[in-house]
Structure 1
Amino acid sequence: MMMKNNTFIDEPCPIAHTVERIGDAWSLLILRDAHAGLTRFDQFRKSLGIAPTILTRRLTALTEHGLLEKRLYSERPPREEYLLTAAGQELLPVLFMLGEWGRKHCGEGHLTRFFDAETGTEIKVVAIDEVTGAKIGTRPIKTLRPNEQ
């Protein structure tokens, strides 16, 4: 895979396209916090301890890529909040899988745990192939690129 003009967007790989849009740690953590209900600039800044200039750039990029949308919540002074789009909401399983990987390979320690808001049960994530029912990562895979047979 070659990177052209510092971008992976021309690659035929969906992983490359995803990395191009959300592939840095700050963006993933912003999305994590958005799923936890944070919507406002100051909330993200306080939660993450991120510099305002970096946060502004990441929120702009996530908005341009259609993962967040801005909505005015105050006219005087003008203030906007950031809400997850449908595409942003669909990233929750990916974030959970990253969290499970981290829990397994980076140590338990004081890691955040996730619970179902209605049942109170802890969420334990596993990726399953819909066709075979096999747990992803337990069987060999084959990759077929667009111009391959």
Structure 2
Amino acid sequence: MAAQPLAVRPCSIAAALEVVGERWALVALREMAYGVHTFARIAGYTGASRDILADRLRKLEAAGLIERRQYSEHPPRYEYHLAQAGRELFPVMLALREWGDKWAVDAPSVAFEHTCGHSVELDLRCGHCAQPVTRESLTPVRPERVPEEA
């Protein structure tokens, strides 16, 4: 049997990285998730240059991940807040932080406690059967397409 020709695989991960994959985008979102909203503080906590950060914030706003809110008219000044799409990235950021703590740094720089007082550890489970989700427990399937109306 002849090998099938390879084609670029449609991928939601690749599409998501088009939105948040540029350097400084996720760390700017991290700061907003931590409650930092002014440009100067976001720049300070991320280490991003002002021009690069301004570019990332514009792109994140255009993509609908953040909202810019004016808090001063003279001079005009803005705060940056997570929109719904940005808030929904928070579990992804927690997962990336947990991975980074294990594989990318010698010692974690921050830990989180839940309101119950215990440390937070991610636990990915199936919403239907509550069993752990692992690579081995997943089977890729094509989503059903809704036929176009004539």
Q: Kindly name which structure, 1 or 2, has the bigger radius of gyration based on alpha carbons.
A: 2
Q: Distance in 1 between matches of 2:67 and 2:143?
A: 32
Q: Is 1:121 aligned with 2:118?
A: yes
Map 1:86-125 onto structure 2 (within 5 A). 86-116=84-114, 118-125=115-122
Displacement of 1:39 in angstroms is 0.7
| Residue number in structure 2 paired with 1:143 | 140
SS at match of 1:69: strand
- The count of aligned residue pairs is 139
Residue in 1 that maps onto 2:32: 34
1:72 aligned to which of 70, 73, 77: 70
Q: For the Cα contact (< 8 Å) 2:101–2:108, is it kept in 1? A: no
Secondary structure of the 1:82 match is strand
Encode CA deviations 1:16-70: one digit per residue, 9 max, x unaligned: 2211111134111111111000111001111011111110010001100100001
Q: 1:17: which partner in 2?
A: 15
**In the alignment, which residue of structure 2 is the partner of 1:7?**
none
3-state SS of paired residue (1:139): helix
**Which stretches in structure 1 are left out of the alignment for 5+ residues?**
3-10
Please report how far the alpha carbon of residue 107 of structure 1 lies from its aligned counterpart in structure 2 after TM superposition.
4.4
TM-score normalised per structure 2? 0.81
Give the CA deviation at 1:15: 1.5
Relative to 1, partners in 2 of residues 1:81 and 1:44: Cα closer, same or farther, differing over 3 Å?
same
Cα gap change, 1:147 to 1:131, in 2 (>3 Å): closer
State TM-score, norm by structure 1: 0.82
Aligned Cα root-mean-square deviation (Å): 2.2
| Alpha-carbon distance in 2 for matches of 1:47, 1:107 | 18
Counterpart contact for 1:97–1:126, Cα < 8 Å: no
C-alpha separation in 1, matches of 2:132 and 2:117: 25
Q: Is the partner of 1:70 in helix, strand or coil?
A: strand
Matched to 2:25, the amino acid is S
